Structure 1
């Protein structure tokens, strides 16, 4: 932290220094919007920043690559870290006369004073779990992921004390889970109705969901990656036409399988693998039964989600059926 790049936006590396700044905002009765990130900013993040600038007097963005949400075999070491570029693109954001007000850039020691180990079995100290909402969907593939997310976001909310917080729909399970956590823990900054879920930002040409992990895609892999959203759209179309959950999942997986066959026929080096396509109740995250259709779920929203591997890069996406966030 002794070699921070120059920035006209104040950078706070400790909770104590940030809280001095936050106290003044309280005294001045100014609202604070908050966008938590792990850096490697793309337009998905910047859409959240612009939404915050539009709705708040002050906007804070955090950059922290959280070890607790990476399992020992996952890509913590290669997660992109582009601080200088992140600050540059952040400085370019404006809404009317508002611009980003502060960056919270803590060290691992600052966020985990007692230390942190990626292996849950070796972790010591205080952690947050949201029981019954962490095991489905992404939690099924990444069993310790949401424990790490809930823990670090609780810490960030305690440190930042935001009036409003902004999350992208691409990580829909995370956003709904955090709203549940804020409700259950009686947090006031933000309150549940001030935790906002913003529609997924997509590439204008092929609708690929923007993600920091997209930088790991090869040119050939980048051409294949949009198949995930195409498969979800096929499932959505099936659902809207009255298909059952099983029929909709089949429609989606067929799109993926057809792309896998095309890749093989073309003889490219891209390896495409389906992780999952699933449909869950948006309130409980419970998996829908195979015979459930749109008529049976007219009383609530459904999360249609999926994940694929393009070579070693894991991509996720989702569509909400029946309700907006």
Structure 2
């Protein structure tokens, strides 16, 4: 999905403002009931470009970009850019300071030896952050993900930029391939009880541009991936975190997997196989073997940074290694997110996110 972590942070901060608030349910409150908000139900008909914009009535949503990049010398890098929207109530949002929306941005860069992460916060209604569908523009302060295309598909040609004292990047992302609806025609289930999000991706972006880390500049290029989701209650009270994978295979195919871990019982496991033309096939738990192989001590936690993935129906048997095992997002709510390398029946690159450890 990624069910993205900034939303969790917003909910945690908001609940923490009231000492009388009840204990959170599920990971970072995402299992809390949200009866006043619009539910996620099967059968939605997606409409583009409108669905690139925000969705009032839903509690949470995000625009999430990751990129696996190399320079001319073969040095590998990862880039993350995320914008999260959290609604404090389900009513239509007013303008100005009466607006009840909170925005959060995360940006990060990773190399084999360095990982930097930053975050920004904004109040809705005053222009500091927001999203518009046409022409598409998502921003928080001077961090921006916006269209440069003039045709019917605004995501065909994008610019992505973020800046922090320790790093910056300015990338162009292009794709002529179709968007991919995850799950069952965009209905992405997260539990056996039916919790879900609306979820689509653009896994076919090609990125190029400039990256700066600690004063050193690099000209870089490589594949990138956009995840778009919105929901109101995507988890159950029993779900403690997740492991999320978005993978670019060398043969042009793509794979998205996630397992939602529980306090007790087996994880909820599913995924999507995307062929080189953009056709998507849902993968169910019985078709997937996803097993941690090795761990690293990261920020006082034991994190699984090597994984084995097998999908027999696709003749896939790979091992996934973190480019930098210390890709720890040292933010208000910390989590692990970074680029990975693939070895085995297919080579490739991708991104891994792990929460709740």
Same-fold call, TM cutoff 0.5: no
Question: Normalising to structure 2: TM-score of the pair?
Answer: 0.24
- Judging by fraction of residues, say which structure has more helix: 1
Normalising by structure 1, what TM-score? Answer: 0.26
